[in-house]
Amino acid sequence: MERSIMEVAINSIMELTENSKQRELVAGFFLKDVVGFIEGIKQVYKKYKMRPKYLQRQINERCDHVVFKGRELEKKIERKGLKTRLLIKEIKRKFREVIKEVTKHSCIMKWASEKPRGYPGDFKMLEMMYDNRILSKGIGQYLDNYLLSVDSVVSVRHRRDKMVEIMRDFVNKTKKPRIEMLDIGCGGARILRTYFEKGFHKEYSGMLNCTNVDQDDLALDYARRYLGKYRNRKVRFGFKKESIRNISNKKEHFASVFGKKDLIYNIGVADYLPSNILIEFIIFCMGILNPGGKFVVSYKDFDIWNFVSPDWFCNWVFVHRNLHDILCLLRDNNIDVDRKYKLELQWIKTEDIFYLILTKKVKAHKLL
Ligand SMILES: C[S@@+](CC[C@H](N)C(=O)[O-])C[C@H]1O[C@@H](n2cnc3c(N)ncnc32)[C@H](O)[C@@H]1O
């Protein structure tokens, strides 16, 4: 990319800067780091096409470097205030726009940043992350591979595996002849599908009734299609389009819609929810648990989970919380976990995502 084209591209950002220091930082980032990134990717691709492993390393290093520089820039200009927030948002938007010259060749990066379903983390994106398969050709295959192998995406695969383990353990230890499961924010129900694909359901002789809820009807269609083959007289599936906001606002109504549950899980969703909705949602789920039932929620620990690449390349925006924030949120909202519920924490293999598990004690009173 020519320097003059980049200069035109960053003019819109300059209008949002507040002083010459900010202008200098922004210009430096785009004219040096971003131009260097685009040119560098094109050059190494040309030069090392015949050495794919080395080329992949070169591309990974360049991707990591440019987002590191972006993060550095963000920290330097980070000051509280709407104007600075808008400036940072615009810098990131422009960054994604100008690097399209190379990222457009990667189907996975393209899907991740364009978000065709209108929100980040849709079921197709998750399928790509779980499948861990390169979908593009040419330069795009290396960018696909980069995104699939960043720490934050690797941990999403570990998150699925951990939940399947929790599900298997719960089902196998229960003495009940019938288990009611509820996945809220199920996406393509990959967790449940993995449980069935691995044949773990055969270890349980009772009946499994699995309800899947998501705001996205295409995700539900997808889940329905792939789960259909496991349906039999001992395994039932239900699907419902609903949003967590709505559920949290009409707790009593949805308590009777869903009925009592033994295992409720909510994976990869809480990180998007503002605290007021999240807390109401937790209260709802705790309230519909049967005695002995578990409510399992995954959280990214933003002190550890590396959000920089997803943020800069894909515009995946989350509510940043760490373990302490979550525990404070429960305590500050008087969720009396000690008396009626047992609280347990489990980490995924990479320790950047944890599960908060609330088990309803057998002699507990109803919360709702
Ligand atoms: C990151 S995906 C996770 C999917 C699945 N739980 C998994 O772990 O593979 C998030 C899913 O939650 C759904 N979702 C996000 N916000 C939601 C909300 N407020 N109410 C219901 N579903 C929601 C999205 O439609 C998407 O399918």
Q: Which amino acid is at 221?
A: D
**Neighbour-count burial for 205-239, b at 16+ CB within 10 Å, e otherwise:** eeebbbbbbbbbeebbebbbebbeebeeeeeebeb
What confidence tens digit (pLDDT) does each residue in 325-368 have?
999 999 999 886 678 899 999 999 999 999 999 999 987 454 44
Q: Which of 296, 262, 255, 295 is nearest to 179 (CA)?
A: 262
- Average model confidence (pLDDT) across the chain: 94
Distance of alpha carbon 322 from alpha carbon 337, whole angstroms:
19
Q: How many angstroms does the Cα of residue 15 sit away from the middle of ligand 1? A: 36
Atom 14 (ligand 1): residue with closest C-alpha? 185
Q: Is 0.85 topped by the overall pTM? A: yes
pLDDT in tens, 32-43: 999 999 999 999
Q: What is the pLDDT of residue 343?
A: 93
Query: pLDDT tens, 258-286?
Result: 999 999 999 999 999 999 999 999 999 99
Q: Is the CB of 269 under 6 A from ligand 1?
A: yes
Distance CA 49, CA 46 (A): 6
Domain 154-305+316-360 has CATH 3.40.50.150: yes
Cβ-based neighbours of 203, under 8 Å, separated by 6 or more: 168, 171, 172
For ligand 1, the distance from its centroid to the CA atom of residue 143, given in whole angstroms, is 25
Distance (angstroms) between ligand 1 centre and the Cα of 53 equals 35
Task: Write out pLDDT tens, residues 171-205.
Answer: 999 989 999 999 999 999 999 999 999 999 999 99
